[in-house]
Amino acid sequence: MAFARLTSLVLLMLCTAVQAQTRVRGTIVAFDGVTLSVQGGGLIQIDDKTQIVFAEPIALSDIRPGDFLGVTSVKAKDGMLTAYEVRRFPQALNPGHRPFDGRDDQTMTNATVGAVVQSASGRDLVLIYDGGTQQIKVPPEAAVSQLVPGNKGHLLPGAAVNLTHDPSGRALRIQVSPKR
């Protein structure tokens, strides 16, 4: 009985810790080396435990069958998907196809590249995941990158960030894109 209570308490604490994380997407306004100001996201504290990853630009031609990608797309009324962001990950992460940001017209597909195809509509990716396949058009203006280790030098005003922080406002993980 005591073991069951202890197990329940530990599970409750773990669930609370996971739920206590807050996600922020926005643009960096300022960074002084310790405090990151994000438009629409407030002030976030950075310390030595904060993981920073950088979305290093690459060419679509660098993408090969077998690579694992995260592709954010807009879905047209006819169901055709057009990517606006393509990220190559070093390993598989949360495979599948789902709505993105709670919107029916945006999707996130995390999957393995089956093929890169030249088509009449442009460059298409065929992505394969357990339970499905998606063909996604990648226009020339889509951001194509790979995630690499980052550092505080990447946290420049004007750069886009996608981060998680704890209840105290300390950043846990920051994904930063190049300043546009």
- What are the residue boundaries of the structural domains of the chain, listed by start? 23-46+155-180, 59-146
Indicate yes or no: pTM above 0.85.
Answer: no
Angle at 121 between CA 80 and CA 57, to 5 degrees: 90
Q: Cα–Cα distance between 104 and 86 in angstroms, integer?
A: 19
pLDDT by residue for the chain (180 residues), tens only, comes to: 443 443 343 344 444 444 578 999 999 999 999 999 999 888 999 999 999 999 999 999 999 999 999 999 999 999 899 999 999 998 898 999 999 877 788 999 999 999 888 776 668 999 999 999 999 999 999 999 999 999 999 999 999 999 999 999 999 999 999 886
16/172 Cα distance (integer angstroms): 16
- Burial zone of 82 (CB within 10 Å; 0-12 exposed, 13-18 middle, 19+ buried): middle
For position 102, what pLDDT does the model report?
Answer: 74
pLDDT digits (tens, 9 = 90+) for 13-44: 444 444 578 999 999 999 999 999 999 888 99
Report how far residue 120's alpha carbon sits from residue 12's, in angstroms, rounded to the nearest whole number. Answer: 53
Placement of tokens 């300043």 in the chain: 179
Question: pLDDT value at position 116?
Answer: 83
Per-residue pLDDT, 65? 94
